[in-house]
Amino acid sequence: MKGFYRVALKIIFTVTCVMLFLSGAFSQEKKKLVFSINLNDTVQQIRTIGASACWYGEEIGNKWPAAARQQMAERLFSRGFEKNGQPKGIGLSAFRFNIGAGTTEQGDSSGINDAARRVACFLSPSGKYDWSKQPGYTWLLKQAKNYGVKNLIAFVNSPPVQFTKNGLGYKLQKDFVSNLQEDKYGAYANFLATVIQHFDKINCHFNYISPVNEPQWDWSGTYGEAKQEGSPWTNEEIYKVVKTLNKSLQQHRLSTQIITTEAGMLNHLYDSNAKASRQIFHFWNPKSKLYIGNLSNTTRFVEGHGYFTDEGDALIEVRKKLRDTLKKYGPGLEYWQSEYCMLGDGFKEKSTIKRTAMDCALFLAKVIHHDFTAGNATAWHFWNSFEPGVADSNTLYYLIALNQQRKTDSSKLYTITKNLWALGHYSLFVRPGMHRLQTGSNDGLTEAEQATQIMVSAFKDKKTVVVNVINYTIENKIAGIALQGILKNKQVKLLKRYVTSAAEGDNITPYPIDNARDPTAPNGFDIIFPARSITTLLFSY
């Protein structure tokens, strides 16, 4: 009998375990994924989302047929929609204008091998200003203004060649010090102020001026093989140029503000071995001899470029470290991601399959997402709005790819990529002045784990909540979006849903919103997020 009881007990125990397992599996299967958004819990205020016209803006704005270049401007700046609900453009709220150093006038003697990357200078070596220079860039700038772009930003890669030590727009030796002649700081600052003053007169006010770019790089090249204009700067040299420029802006009675430092990598801002490192400490610590926070025309916007920190754990960890460092030297210090693109090799994620346009778009969206949510960025700027495509794989990495055939066939000038629309999910809907909202979820995942699953960010103004959802998985996902706080008994309305997916026509495409409300929650919505997609939800409250 004892053997019988032992067998019976084993059977009962086994059946109980199976039932518990099935019950747990069933309950997990029934558990609904919900993302909560607290309208009371605001984080940073967004200032701008934009891009640059370098290098090929001169060709587009000056040499393209009028209709084609107008289409290009519409793609970048328009906030309008077609009758079918598709957006006409991505509604950038910032546009960056490169003030050239004069390598175009030097021609081949500039030593820069790509003529498209040589830039004209408004100031001639004789000391006369010629405002007919850079007509293509200027045309695009005026279009940005006409479309209502709120923030125009001037930036410089190299001082004018007549002010540099070697008479070139880049360095010939790797010494990591500025190419600006020691006695030309005042002349350089006056040049920038004069350019700003001119554009004020033609109703293209520069809200901001950035006088140095990626100062940590050596910007040296072999004569005849140099890639572009550029100059390194030490922290001491940056302080000197910012202080001198601040004085010149005051003398010209200009309201344009100086933004610093355009660090080549984000970790240069808080810790690195670069010549110009720990820049937050040096420039925004009141105890530092290089403190710029007390100058009349400087900002508390700390600019850095997102390159080389977009792979693996660095995507989140570097941005969190930057955020925490800014808090240490705050209040009021803001992180601006002022330049990012996928460079020549695209995104850094390991993959055994051929990359698709949607893979690149999702990766770009993920980088933007983490700059906002992990770094608390208040501005986000893509590098070059357009690049010449040399192969299908390269073309995927750009916003707008300039076709190789464009110089012989005006009907094949450019190709719009999925990346443009990925950026548009943020630039078109997340407008200056909006505040990011804290979000939570019941998925139990870390931020790093969510980066391979579903990522949610939310932003609001006084009337609208924008929710951006990135579904990184290969499956359609159903998830609840629950808006909480300051609503009392008022109901939220889901106004619009826009989706970018791998489907050819899905480029911020309006999707139906019928039956989206969750009847079990007062302000909850059940939404289907297509596989490998980016979705924007617009709510009124």
DSSP letter at 165?
Answer: S
Residue-level pLDDT at 349: 74
For residues 263 and 265, what is the distance between their CA atoms, to the nearest angstrom? 5
Phi, psi at 361, each rounded to 5°: -65, -40
The position carrying tokens 């460079």 is 343
Could you give the C-alpha distances from 31 to 204, 330, 472, in angstroms and in order? 54, 42, 20
Beta bridge partners of 379: 48, 336
What is the residue extent of each domain of the chain? 31-43+436-540, 47-432
Q: pTM to 2 decimals?
A: 0.93
Residue 373 is inside which H or E element, if any?
A: helix 357-373
What DSSP letter does each residue of 3-16 carry, written as one string? Answer: HHHHHHHHHHHHHH
Residue-level pLDDT at 396: 82
Q: Contact 231/170 with Cβ under 8 angstroms?
A: yes
For residues 249 and 255, what is the distance between their CA atoms, to the nearest angstrom? 7
- Stretches in the chain below the pLDDT threshold 50: 1-29
Q: Using alpha carbons only, what angle is made at residue 394 by residues 392 and 398, rounded to the nearest 5 degrees?
A: 110
Burial class for 395, CB neighbours closer than 10 Å (0-12, 13-18, 19+): buried
Burial class for 498, CB neighbours closer than 10 Å (0-12, 13-18, 19+): buried
For residues 221 and 228, what is the distance between their CA atoms, to the nearest angstrom? 9
Report pLDDT digits (tens) over 147-183: 999 999 999 999 999 999 999 999 999 999 999 999 9
Residue 34 is inside which H or E element, if any?
A: strand 34-45
The reply to whether 47-432 shares the fold of 31-43+436-540 is: no
Residue-level pLDDT at 127: 96
Beta bridge partners of 95: 51, 152
Q: Contact 154/97 with Cβ under 8 angstroms?
A: yes
Structure tokens belonging to residue 462? 């006084």
Domain 47-432 has CATH 2.60.40.1120: no
Integer-rounded Cα Rg, in Å, for the chain is 26
For residues 541 and 320, what is the distance between their CA atoms, to the nearest angstrom? 31
Residue-level pLDDT at 348: 62
DSSP letter at 226?
Answer: B
Residue 437 is inside which H or E element, if any?
A: strand 435-441
Residue of 422, 353, 452, 365 whose CA lies nearest to 393: 353
Q: Whole-angstrom distance between the N-terminal and C-terminal Cα of the chain?
A: 71
Q: What is the CATH number of domain 31-43+436-540?
A: 2.60.40.1180
Report pLDDT digits (tens) over 365-374: 999 999 999 9
Could you give the C-alpha distances from 32 to 442, 455, 466, 477, 535, in angstroms and in order? 9, 16, 22, 11, 19
Structure tokens belonging to residue 87? 């957006």
Give the start-end residues of each E strand in 334-424.
334-340, 379-384, 386-388, 400-402, 414-416
The length of the chain in residues reads 541
> What b/e sequence results for 107-122 when a residue is b if at least 16 CB atoms lie within 10 Å of its CB, and e otherwise?
eeebbbbeebbbbbbb
Residue-level pLDDT at 393: 59
The region, left, alpha or beta by phi > 0 then psi within -120 to 50, assigned to residue 334 is: beta
